[in-house]
């Protein structure tokens, strides 16, 4: 949304800036996970050192190779990108959700705390974040078909998060390195789904922001 255009007084505020921030953050996550995949392929190509895996068990670790050290750095940067992306995406989602409620003139199905709680509530986090996005679309584009990018985003997010060494992986970086030496393509497949989910999420942000711009313009003309 163009932040310079007049906005109806009842809206929470322009969503364009938060949409741009979310888009940049999603690009960063996609780039970070593509870099992870590239480093995992490099590790597989180099092969496991003769000294064995980094983690020997019982709290014992061997010194890391330079390539393994660089993967630790790439992984840490990716984790930081995810945290920043989560903050930017949720800020956009909360703003566009509040505006959608104002534009529709009725409460949405899911109250605003679910914008945050939906991601961390066990079991419910498998469907609630998508449901919040669907609520927003129905409020700002009543009667219109849900954009396909929403389902692609959510399906890819779940697949990339729950498989391989995706976003929900709880193992250590050293365990990922060990898997790269023996099963790299499963890791790369998980990374590819995260990258694809980030691309689909960008489309979601752009599509819903454009729909809200169109709906808001109707109210501006009425005023």
Predicted confidence (pLDDT) per residue in 168-192, tens digit: 666 788 889 988 998 899 899 999 9
What tens digit of pLDDT does each residue of 80-97 get?
999 999 999 999 999 999
CB 71 within 8 A of CB 177: yes
Q: Is the separation of the CB atoms in 107 and 50 below 8 Å?
A: no
pTM here is 0.87
On whether the CB atoms of residues 131 and 110 are closer than 8 A, the answer is yes
In degrees and rounded to multiples of 5, residue 58 shows phi and psi of: 55, 30
Beta pairing partners, 223:
none
Q: What is the pLDDT of residues 124-174, one digit of tens each?
A: 989 999 999 999 999 998 889 999 999 999 999 998 888 766 666 667 888
């Amino acid at each position: 949304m163009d932040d310079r255009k007049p906005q109806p007084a009842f809206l929470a505020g322009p969503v364009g800036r938060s949409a741009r921030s979310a888009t940049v953050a999603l690009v960063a996550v996609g780039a970070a996970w593509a870099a992870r995949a590239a480093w995992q392929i490099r590790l597989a190509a180099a092969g496991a050192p003769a000294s064995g895996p980094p983690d020997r068990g019982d709290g014992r670790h061997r010194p890391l190779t330079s390539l393994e050290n660089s993967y630790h750095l790439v992984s840490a940067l990716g984790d930081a990108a995810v945290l920043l992306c989560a903050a930017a995406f949720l800020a956009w989602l909360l703003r566009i959700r509040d505006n959608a409620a104002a534009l529709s003139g009725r409460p949405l199905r899911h109250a605003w705390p679910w914008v945050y709680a939906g991601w961390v509530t066990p079991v419910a986090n498998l469907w609630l974040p998508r449901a919040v996005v669907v609520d927003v679309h129905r409020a700002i584009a009543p009667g219109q078909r849900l954009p396909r990018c929403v389902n692609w985003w959510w399906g890819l997010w779940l697949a990339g998060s729950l498989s391989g060494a995706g976003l929900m992986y709880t193992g250590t970086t050293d365990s990922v390195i060990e898997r790269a030496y023996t099963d790299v393509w499963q890791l790369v497949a998980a990374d590819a789904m995260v990258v694809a989910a980030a691309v689909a999420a960008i489309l979601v942000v752009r599509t819903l922001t454009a729909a809200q711009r169109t709906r808001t313009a109707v109210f501006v003309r009425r005023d």
